Structure 1
Amino acid sequence: MTTFALAIVLFSALLHAGWNAMLKAVDDRAGVLGAVSLAHALVGVVLIALSPLPALASWPSIIISTLVHYAYYLLLFRAYRHGDLSQVYPISRGLAPAIVAFSAWMLIDETLAPLAVAGLVAITAGICLLALQRGAAAAPRSTLGFAVLLGLCIGAYSTADGIGIRLAGTATGYMGWLFLCEAPVPLMIALHRRRNRGQFAPRTLVYGLLGGMAAVTAYGLVLYVKTIAPLGAVSAVRESSVIIAALIGVFVFGERPWPGRILASIVVALGVVALTWAG
């Protein structure tokens, strides 16, 4: 992975950890998720207007990714309702790199150099170590179940999008239709809120739209890098966002203990360096 690609993915990781931390901090998570999806759809409309139609071969990936994203949002809402940020986030994101690397090898015969494989293993190990710092083995089964299912969803849509965007012939066109397909999410949340006579606070909409812009920028950057770098490597570096989330957990939410998090951060950092050296 080149330095340019690495910088883009690390910036994406920062944005993603930030909006997930905001989602954990707010009370109206359903409202914020609805606004996040709305931001995706609005950006999608703009990208569609400025881009050609994606190639027919990429549409199965768009459909698969869209359906998996629906499940992802539902699981994300449930997971943060029952678990801590520094537990759910590393477990779910930590599963994704290995899933993506294995899927890319099986589906498109994409392999990594030995040093890159070592880097991926180090990143995954560091993420798992970070998850265990929160007592994952003793956590409620519901929290672990939601986190594991989230990881499977992340691996599934990451693989689908990595393959689809390469077949699309237009990165922005692929992103546009993928983002627009999230439009049913805010509509369903709004209808449910209306049936239950609930209201959206203006602050919820503002937070959601800001989080949505961070989310759409983060994933858009990752999709672009997947056109110029191996899927497994991109996914592994992308999940270094768990370190950022852990630091937010320590300094913003006051989560403890911190020594294990520092060790996990060093392991992940070494893995990122190995992936960069592997080229």
Structure 2
Amino acid sequence: MFNLAVGLVILSGLAHSVWNLFTKKSINKNVFLWFCQWAAILIFLPFVLVELPTIGQVPFVGWLLLAASMILHGVYILLLAKSYTIGDLSQVFPIIRGTSPLLVPIFGVLLLNESLSLLGWIGIVCIVSGIFLIGEAKGRIFRKIVDKTILIALLVGVMTTSYTIVDKVTLQYFPSFTLNWASNVGNLLALTTIVMRSQGIRQEWKVNWKTILLGGLLAPGSYILFLKALELMPVSQIAPMREIGTVFGTLMGVFILHERQGKGRILASVSITAGIIMLAQT
């Protein structure tokens, strides 16, 4: 089960970095992500219909958790669109992904009665350190922490942490495809008002319809893989492992977006990999 969970998390990180790359390359981030939600809702609807008969009577708290998940995912998608509108992939993505492994294990231990060994905590420190080294654009992150791009990226990371914890509990009441599908609906509702006011709907579809359809598959697909892993292992171990996607995202920034990288990025990637290995031993 452990090897399966790790494999699912690595695939999840790869798929997640790919659709973030698509989002960054899009014209209007809100419109692109709005189309992706429609694609995801339609693509995964058959899986939800298969799961529905297996869902028993859900108590009121289960529906509250589902509603909270939809709201958190909705706020997340709005902040994500904003962060990629004003920031670079190599700056935003590592900060977003670096916030979660710092916070998720802490909340997992404090709120979900999970445990983590000393080696696991050292691994998390290595992962977080590596991610923030990757995200350090020309040394400005720590010296200019009030930068708007950085603050929004941090908020996206906080939202990621929040919905991860809520979704871990919500899985007790709803299966993974249904939970993820509901989050896509929440994303769609959150984006609709902004998108309807924009002028770029036709242009976005005309230029990026292929990546929209692929993003509609990869975005929920990456999170479903993660939810499946959550069913097998504690969130305090699984969530930080997903940050291997930061390495994938950095490589994509180098070879696809031609973003400038230094030797520090290689060192940071080594730190992330070492942290994941340590975490896997706990």
Q: Scaled by the length of structure 1, what TM-score is found?
A: 0.90
Kindly provide the CA deviation profile for residues 132-170 of structure 1, in whole angstroms up to 9, marking residues without a partner as x.
2443235571111111111111110111111211x1263
| Worse-matched range after superposition: 257-266 or 173-182 | 173-182
2:264 to 255, 260, 264: 260
CA positional deviation for 1:192: 2.3
CA positional deviation for 1:176: 3.6
- Structure 1 residue matching 2:111: 3-state secondary structure: helix
1:119-138 superposed matches below 5 A: 119-135=123-139, 136-137=141-142
The answer to whether the Cα contact below 8 Å between 1:37 and 1:186 also exists between their aligned partners in 2 is no
1:177 to 173, 182, 187: 182
Aligned equivalent of 1:199: 202
Over 3 Å counting, the alpha-carbon distance change for 1:180 and 1:237 in structure 2 is same
2:71 to 67, 73, 90: 67
Q: Does 2:143 correspond to 1:143?
A: no
Residue 173 of structure 2 aligns to which amino acid in structure 1?
A
Residue 137 of structure 1 aligns to which amino acid in structure 2?
F
2:222 to 211, 218, 223: 218
Over 3 Å counting, the alpha-carbon distance change for 1:261 and 1:62 in structure 2 is same
Distance 1:179 1:95 in 2: 22
Of all paired residues, the percent bearing the same amino acid is 27
Residue 266 of structure 1 aligns to which amino acid in structure 2?
V
Aligned equivalent of 1:164: 170
- Structure 2 residue matching 1:168: 3-state secondary structure: coil
| Worse-matched range after superposition: 254-263 or 84-93 | 254-263
Q: Does 2:29 correspond to 1:26?
A: no
Aligned equivalent of 1:117: 121
CA positional deviation for 1:225: 0.7
Distance 1:203 1:259 in 2: 35
Over 3 Å counting, the alpha-carbon distance change for 1:197 and 1:212 in structure 2 is closer
The answer to whether the Cα contact below 8 Å between 1:43 and 1:176 also exists between their aligned partners in 2 is no
CA positional deviation for 1:83: 1.0
| Worse-matched range after superposition: 116-125 or 203-212 | 203-212
Residue 153 of structure 2 aligns to which amino acid in structure 1?
A
Q: Does 2:150 correspond to 1:155?
A: no
- Structure 2 residue matching 1:137: 3-state secondary structure: coil
The answer to whether the Cα contact below 8 Å between 1:34 and 1:208 also exists between their aligned partners in 2 is no
| Worse-matched range after superposition: 82-91 or 183-192 | 183-192
| Worse-matched range after superposition: 252-261 or 40-49 | 40-49
CA positional deviation for 1:60: 2.6
Distance 1:267 1:244 in 2: 14
| Worse-matched range after superposition: 178-187 or 77-86 | 178-187
Gapped regions of structure 2 (runs ≥ 5): none
Aligned equivalent of 1:105: 109
Aligned equivalent of 2:250: 246
| Worse-matched range after superposition: 122-131 or 197-206 | 197-206
Q: Scaled by the length of structure 2, what TM-score is found?
A: 0.89
Residue 182 of structure 1 aligns to which amino acid in structure 2?
N
Distance 1:146 1:61 in 2: 25
1:69-88 superposed matches below 5 A: 69-88=73-92
Distance 2:251 2:277 in 1: 20
The answer to whether the Cα contact below 8 Å between 1:3 and 1:276 also exists between their aligned partners in 2 is no
Distance 1:43 1:197 in 2: 24
The answer to whether the Cα contact below 8 Å between 1:34 and 1:189 also exists between their aligned partners in 2 is no
Distance 1:173 1:247 in 2: 33
CA positional deviation for 1:68: 1.2
Over 3 Å counting, the alpha-carbon distance change for 1:212 and 1:260 in structure 2 is same
Distance 2:207 2:25 in 1: 13
| Worse-matched range after superposition: 109-118 or 261-270 | 109-118
The answer to whether the Cα contact below 8 Å between 1:13 and 1:241 also exists between their aligned partners in 2 is yes
CA positional deviation for 1:46: 2.2
| Worse-matched range after superposition: 41-50 or 21-30 | 41-50
